[in-house]
Chain A
């Protein structure tokens, strides 16, 4: 079936107007080329700087135009390849818009792995979902590359930074464009590698290096699940290519135990990559990396790969009500849990990190209730507003860092308690970040309102379906989702107020050195701010569009229809087994009513918390008293890291030591040495050779050869 479809390396599609891809391979290849060029520059530069370090100093890079080419070229190569890739992706996107593409367009390049019974090609798959993800990855990726030119300009590892960043994009594109699970897994672990390298970018710092290692190991726990799922799938279908696998999947039994196992193992992978309970612990630590990295990898793209995985496998998830309920449940509890931690964090990036974990939880809630397009919708809007928030935080940290550096102040430049009143110094950052805050808080008509509200609504609708599997459970999910939205509005407002409003706490001298970020940094902020407003208008449900909330002709339900070819199979399964979804929420009220309620609640929370926090006397970090009670628990993140360390890490290390010192050294070697004693005679004879000279050895060898020769004559 697959071979018939993909004859001669080209998929044939039975539509009137054929989709003609426009050099799609280049989209992947360009970042790879960027990586190779920047990587070569990085290696070249590293030798020079190593020589300086060896002499006990640091390499002086000089200023602006006088920098060596290893520091000027990446500024063009890094963002340049991204722009080119984005443009090519756009051409493909526009071409796909103009045709009806029902089947994915698969392009094979070479046979990757082929044994007698298992074959997987190096092939990419172009369809509505993968092209959308490609647009996000290259588009947002390009903006963040541009921002990085400013943010990283004074860093000694500049070319290395861009080589990692380009390599990340390469793997991310393999992840979203790969036409099979194994190829997706290449991207999956590849982005994990880049995440590891970039979190530990400043590797001389033990803490940052630790954070990178932690991210890699925790992700590998998830990857374990991904691998097991692949083995199970291969046993079920004999292939791991998406197209034949999903078309066969229709024949599976609804709610079968195998498909449940597969989807749960896949979700373990997703939980690792997308930082969900119980594997979320690496993401907050990942903030050790440069801030644009947090924006690109740990907010906009890589961490959403788990959501992409679930949507890509939507057929399988639709077949398993247990797995879907688990995905939704883990999602919504993670959303709540992370939001509670975000309430008490003082590090601006930590707030955003927990906020990301929380928003990813929303996405999983969405895909868990079968609203696959809605999950992707929130993924897209989140990519805009969260990238914006991180880049904004980056601009703030950049400014704070420079100011503290120039005044030889050793305060923490990321601690919001040391900020305050930055609005006056950085108006663009301030304005754009408020746009993103409105978006994430779910205030109409910003992007996040439409996507988050849709997820919450779909939860209610799904739970109320005619034959919904666990209706009461989904009502609980729905209430938690609503409640978490209020927490979101609160902690985001708190962050904005502590950073930009109130009195300035940096110190008088320090304040003189605070500036707005340069254009190369605020231009991407502006672009993302626009997207954070209009990004939600691509998918406004019909019910809302009939009222003023739908913004009339400005909006459409485009995304939902666009993804239809990818999700329809799953929707059919769901509709067939569960019946029509509900039109009413649990306590009554339709979609429009609850949309109004939720945005009013969000707005009220923003206004109240603004006044609450601004009145509170925030003190600089050094003077801030220790927290107590429940606040302390939240500040220490519910002590989950400590519990993991006690229950998993330490026992593992103790067991390992036991294996080595007792089983290996005592038990096994004890027996061996005992045998050795018995065979001491042999050992003694053998050891006699030790004392001899080379001639002895030669003699022994000769005698041996002679014996063999003698035997052969005989």
Chain B
């Protein structure tokens, strides 16, 4: 058999290495933006400085919390996967309210048989391989796993 890893390589021109490089802090650290005036938080980070809430121009980077609670989930089990996720089905797509009240979209991974992913589930962010850049290099980013800290074993 092949000595290569037979993992999919994304073939989308828009996902260039430069785009992956610029989005690195967002993917690795869930870094968004914070208005230095009114404290409003944003994820993904805002491209401009203007805060839509208070109209002040004092946007600064903000590392969001790494733990949170699932507020909405959808199970992608249609057999018609989105590009780049073909190896990880069924896929639990969730909206997570992080501990600083930022809502982010992500996947809950490492879900065992019989374990339910539903609103209210406590999760924490981990770094996982998302896909490959168009050059073949690995693109890492955050995903969520069930937060079992404080509990022994199981859910």
Q: Are A and B a genuine interacting pair, yes or no?
A: no
